[in-house]
Amino acid sequence: MSYELNYTVGSIPLDKLKPKKVRKNIELTLWERLYIPEIARGMIVTTRHFIVNMVGFIFPPEGKKRKIFTVYYPEEKLTIHVAYRGRPVLVQREDGKEKCIACGLCERICPAFAISIIGGERQRGNDMERYPVSYTLDMSRCVYCGLCEEVCPYEAIVMSNEYEGLAEYDRENMIYPKEKLLVPVAKLQKRIEYVRKIYGKSNYDLRNMI
């Protein structure tokens, strides 16, 4: 069975690409067994890297500080993509209350048993609504898997892009109460939209549900 491929690799058309030769015979040739030329070849490779990188230090390429991709962490930071799973946070509505309805799905799915919720009810307009009286996230157990975010039907818990300041000297400080988890919804809009896309929640009519 044959089929035609007419895409390109980089800028080279496929039919002009040479197939890579695979050496079936792993016996060394005499030239390789002499060893000295092969050492020289290896040293040329490392020296080329050395020279290219040194030139890259002195004359950095356009728009970059250096040719080497290393990032000096505390001074320079990577731009975090929206797919990054930082610490989980509770979404805070515009009126300052939490979006969570204390259904307990996240508590149930959490593989590390990091979440514990105590639910309650409160007045909202003419209706009653459920809310978490206490929502505790044990950050010493959290594995940043994002299952809580995936399972949440109300987009009430999402993974933020925060990854700093999470280490503590005391385990007591790593148990996050509800107040520490709440983040205004405006800050999390990008992630919420992303979550709708990847978990197929876009067909939920969420505005009616809340």
Partner 1 sequence: MFAELIEAIAKILFIFGVNMGFFAPILGWVERKQSAVMQDRIGANRADILGFTLIGLLHPLTDTIKILTKEDFIPAGANKLFHTLAPFISLTPALITFAVIPFGGQYEIFGHRVNLVIADLDVGILFIFAFASLATYGSVLAGWSSNNNWSFLGGLRAAAQMLSYEVAMGLSIIGIIMVYGSLKLTEIGAMQVDLFKWGIFLQPVGFILFLTCAIAENKRVPFDIPEAETEIVAGYFTEYSSMKFIMFWMAEFLEVVTISGIVTTLFLGAWHLPFVSGEKLLSLFGFAGPNLSIVLLMLTNIATFFAKVIFFIWLQMTIRWTLPRFRYDQIMKLGWKIILPLALINIFITGLVMLLK
Site for partner 1, rule CB under 8 A: 36, 39, 42-43, 45-47, 49-50, 53-54, 57, 66, 68-70
- SS3 assignment, position 179: helix
SS (H, E, C) 54-95: HHHHHCCCCCCCCCCCCCCCCCCCCCCCCCCCCCEEEEECCC
Distance CA 155, CA 60 (A): 44
- SS3 assignment, position 9: strand
Q: How far is the CB of 28 from partner 1 (least distance, A)?
A: 13
Distance CA 137, CA 69 (A): 36
CA angle 188, 193, 199 (to 5 degrees): 120
Q: How far is the CB of 180 from partner 1 (least distance, A)?
A: 33
Q: How far is the CB of 17 from partner 1 (least distance, A)?
A: 27
- State whether the Cα torsion 194-195-199-205 is positive or negative: negative
DSSP letter assigned to residue 20: P
Q: How far is the CB of 55 from partner 1 (least distance, A)?
A: 11
Beta carbon nearer to partner 1, 47 or 134: 47
Beta carbon nearer to partner 1, 49 or 122: 49
Q: How far is the CB of 84 from partner 1 (least distance, A)?
A: 24
CA angle 69, 72, 76 (to 5 degrees): 100
Beta carbon nearer to partner 1, 68 or 128: 68
* Contact criterion met (CB below 8 Å) for 85 and 159: yes
Beta carbon nearer to partner 1, 9 or 58: 58
Q: How far is the CB of 46 from partner 1 (least distance, A)?
A: 5
Beta carbon nearer to partner 1, 66 or 130: 66
Beta carbon nearer to partner 1, 44 or 80: 44
